């Protein structure tokens, strides 16, 4: 193949001159490893480049605008070397597919996909004005529980929506949470980078690895992820717990001199309590954070939303200005329905055939489609039918306009074609009963106490009564009053610990060995003690 050095359009080898600008074509070898920067005015799909925003190892991001409607967007372009890699292309497409399958306002929207003339792949996404959470944490050190929980609730909504769609993020970290600063002073988080997302039910294909290594960031990886085991939504709950710990303390729970050191600690070492890292924090916050960081997935909270509201209840009880909120149970897809594999198993034909489409809904105003909004309208009879017909007509009209516009490459032709469309037919949709309200999780009468101890087996007492051992979770009556536990083990000094059983508690405890007894001594008059 030959390439134009100006416009980067590619031609068969027999061509010598670019048809667009008359430049002499050069062989591909001349551009090997070279990704020429896109100049302002260059068209990428339907968007005109205005300038570069930034670049990294995988490619570059440009600011762009739609010349017809003036919509600003960001264009993410993969490097030529990565565009030629089936694995990287799979990740690139996985992000676009996952985002559009979930469609939630706390997740960045991706609405177009394609390839440049030189083979580089791109997608077009919404342009965000703010900063990533990691930069915000570097500026502030740590966040107050009030500010942290407000941000975490948005992240939790995004993750729960992904899990409900059967998708696991698997790379949750501060760099992938983008903060938008609203006019009222609030912070609106957006979840980014579903590039290694997994569709639940994909089986072995879900363990997406590179050269035999589990993919993700070791500081935020779950124990099962570190071991390369199959993962589900609970791996995101673990990573969310690390994010919570870091936001409140300014430090990740585990660090080390190497990736292997960190991964070993993730799998085997009890995490430190947040209050032991930052003493200003109430100890009441420790239990809900440690519950997210349980090594066994079955011991973690059922959903991210429940986890963050457990933290909010603890913060409220500790006197922070936080109000707990009810959380509906998340209904998750158990299989890979509704779109097929997200992150793996794509054939070259699928990679070649992928294309994008403009979104019809502003992701900031709604995380759902127009028809979803109709389902919530409390009207009946003819009024309900009229509302549905209006929305169906709107969607049908927009879809028709989009289709006709695609037949004409010029904006003027697209508009003229859309203006001559016949009105959409009236569609009568039978009235449907309003969907049932989501069930709110009721508080259980008892809470669970899980003890992560060293030594591994300790006896647990309340006063003189033995409750059980650390070998399995113990059940305690739910209460807002503190109770004192005594932990005992042969050869170790007993330890008293006070907890508030208002929610499930994960208690890390280390007992001290009993000091060895001194050898007997003999006192000799005038000479002090003499050791035998």
pLDDT digits (tens, 9 = 90+) for 432-483: 444 444 444 444 567 888 888 888 888 999 888 888 888 778 888 888 888 8
**CA separation for the pair 482, 476 (Å, rounded):** 12
Tell me the two tokens of residue 62. Answer: 């440009």
Q: Quote the percentage of the chain above a pLDDT of 90.
A: 38
DSSP state at residue 413: H
Mean pLDDT taken over the chain: 75
Is 76 labelled a binding residue? yes
* CA atoms within 13 A of residue 393's CA, in its CB half-sphere: 14
What is the widest separation between alpha-carbon atoms in the chain?
Answer: 119
Count of C-beta atoms within a 10 Å radius of residue 90:
20
Task: Determine the average pLDDT of the residues in 318-326.
Answer: 89
| Active-site residue flag, 171 | yes
Count of C-beta atoms within a 10 Å radius of residue 91:
23
Pick the catalytic residue from 35, 118, 171, 286: 171
**372 backbone dihedrals φ, ψ, rounded to 5°:** -60, -40
DSSP state at residue 218: G
Scored b (16 or more CB within 10 A) or e, 295-333 reads bebebbbebbbbbbbbbbbbbbbeebebebeebeebebe
458: Cα separation from own chain's centroid: 37
Upstream peptide bond of 455 is cis (omega within 30 degrees of 0): yes
Cα distances (Å, whole numbers) of residue 145 to 138, 174, 495: 17, 16, 29
pLDDT at position 444 is 54
180 or 83, greater pLDDT: 180
SS3 344: coil
Q: Are strands 505-510 and 446-454 parallel, antiparallel or unpaired?
A: parallel
Q: Is 50 exceeded by the pLDDT of residue 165?
A: yes
Task: Determine the average pLDDT of the residues in 519-529.
Answer: 47
How far the first Cα of the chain sits from its last, in Å, is 92
Element (H, E) at 191: strand 187-191
pLDDT at position 69 is 95
**CA separation for the pair 262, 255 (Å, rounded):** 5
- Interhelix angle for 233-249 vs 133-140, to 10°? 20
DSSP secondary structure string, 6-51? Answer: TT--EE-TT--B-TTT-PBPEEGGGGTT--PPPPTT-EETTEEEEE
415 or 318, greater pLDDT: 318
Least confident of 27-31, 37-41, 147-151, 376-380: 376-380
DSSP state at residue 328: B
pLDDT at position 307 is 97
pLDDT at position 152 is 98
527 or 146, greater pLDDT: 146
pLDDT at position 315 is 96
Tell me the two tokens of residue 488. Answer: 């005992």
Which neighbouring-strand residues pair with 131?
179
**271 backbone dihedrals φ, ψ, rounded to 5°:** -75, 150
Q: How confident is the model at residue 317 (pLDDT cuts 50, 70, 90)?
A: very high
Residue pair 16/24 in contact (Cβ under 8 Å)? The answer is yes
pLDDT at position 448 is 82
386 or 11, greater pLDDT: 11
Q: Is 90 exceeded by the pLDDT of residue 65?
A: yes
Task: Determine the average pLDDT of the residues in 201-229.
Answer: 65
Angle at 513 between CA 257 and CA 495, to 5 degrees: 100
Task: Determine the average pLDDT of the residues in 319-343.
Answer: 60
**CA separation for the pair 501, 514 (Å, rounded):** 30
pLDDT at position 509 is 82
* Residue recorded with tokens 């109430």: 282
């Amino acid at each position: 193949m030959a390439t134009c050095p100006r416009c980067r359009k590619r031609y068969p080898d027999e061509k010598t001159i670019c048809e667009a600008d008359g430049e002499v074509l050069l062989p591909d070898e001349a551009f090997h490893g070279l990704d020429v920067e896109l100049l302002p005015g260059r068209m990428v799909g339907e968007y005109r480049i205005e300038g570069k925003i930034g670049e990294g190892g995988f490619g570059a991001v440009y600011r762009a605008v739609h010349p017809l409607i003036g919509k600003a967007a960001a264009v993410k372009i993969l490097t030529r070397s990565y565009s030629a890699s089936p694995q990287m292309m799979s990740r690139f497409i996985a992000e676009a597919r996952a985002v559009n399958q979930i469609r939630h306002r706390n997740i960045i929207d991706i609405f177009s996909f394609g390839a440049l003339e030189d083979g580089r792949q791109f997608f077009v996404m919404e342009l965000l004005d703010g900063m990533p959470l990691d930069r915000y944490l570097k500026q502030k050190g740590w966040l107050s529980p009030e500010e942290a929980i407000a941000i975490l609730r948005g992240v939790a909504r995004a993750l729960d929506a992904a899990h409900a769609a059967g998708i696991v993020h698997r790379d949750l970290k501060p760099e992938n949470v983008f903060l938008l600063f609203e006019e009222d002073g609030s912070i609106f988080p957006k979840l980014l980078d579903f590039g290694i997302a997994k569709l639940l039910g994909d089986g072995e294909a879900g363990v997406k690895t590179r050269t035999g290594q589990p993919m993700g960031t070791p500081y935020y990886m779950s124990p099962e992820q570190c071991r390369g085991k199959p993962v589900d939504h609970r791996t995101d709950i673990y990573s969310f717990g690390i994010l919570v710990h870091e936001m409140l303390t300014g430090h990740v729970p585990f660090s080390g001199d190497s990736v292997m050191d960190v991964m070993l600690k993730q799998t085997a070492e009890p995490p430190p309590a947040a209050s032991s890292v930052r003493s200003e924090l109430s100890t009441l916050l420790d239990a809900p954070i440690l519950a997210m960081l349980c090594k066994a997935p079955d011991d973690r909270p059922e959903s991210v939303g429940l986890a963050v509201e457990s933290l909010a209840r603890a913060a409220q009880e500790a006197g922070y200005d936080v109000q707990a909120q009810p959380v509906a149970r998340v209904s998750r897809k158990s299989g890979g329905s509704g779109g097929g594999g997200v992150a793996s198993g794509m054939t070259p034909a699928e990679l070649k055939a992928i294309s994008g489409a403009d979104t019809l809904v502003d992701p900031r105003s709604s995380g759902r489609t127009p028809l979803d909004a109709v389902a919530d309208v409390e009207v009946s009879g003819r009024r309900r039918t009229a509302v549905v017909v209006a929305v169906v007509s709107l969607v049908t009209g927009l879809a028709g306009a989009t289709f006709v516009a695609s037949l004409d490459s010029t904006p003027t032709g697209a508009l003229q074609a859309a203006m001559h469309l016949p009105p959409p037919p009236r569609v009568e949709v039978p009235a449907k009963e309003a969907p049932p309200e989501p069930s709110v999780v009721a508080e259980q009468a008892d809470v669970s106490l899980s003890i992560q101890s060293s030594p591994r087996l300790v006896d647990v007492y309340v006063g003189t009564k033995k409750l059980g051992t650390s070998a399995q979770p113990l059940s305690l009556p739910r209460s807002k009053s503190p109770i004192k536990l005594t932990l005992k083990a042969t050869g170790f000094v007993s330890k008293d610990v006070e907890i508030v059983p208002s929610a499930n508690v994960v208690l890390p405890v280390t007992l001290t060995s009993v000091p060895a007894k001194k050898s007997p001594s003999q006192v000799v008059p005038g000479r002090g003690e003499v050791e035998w």
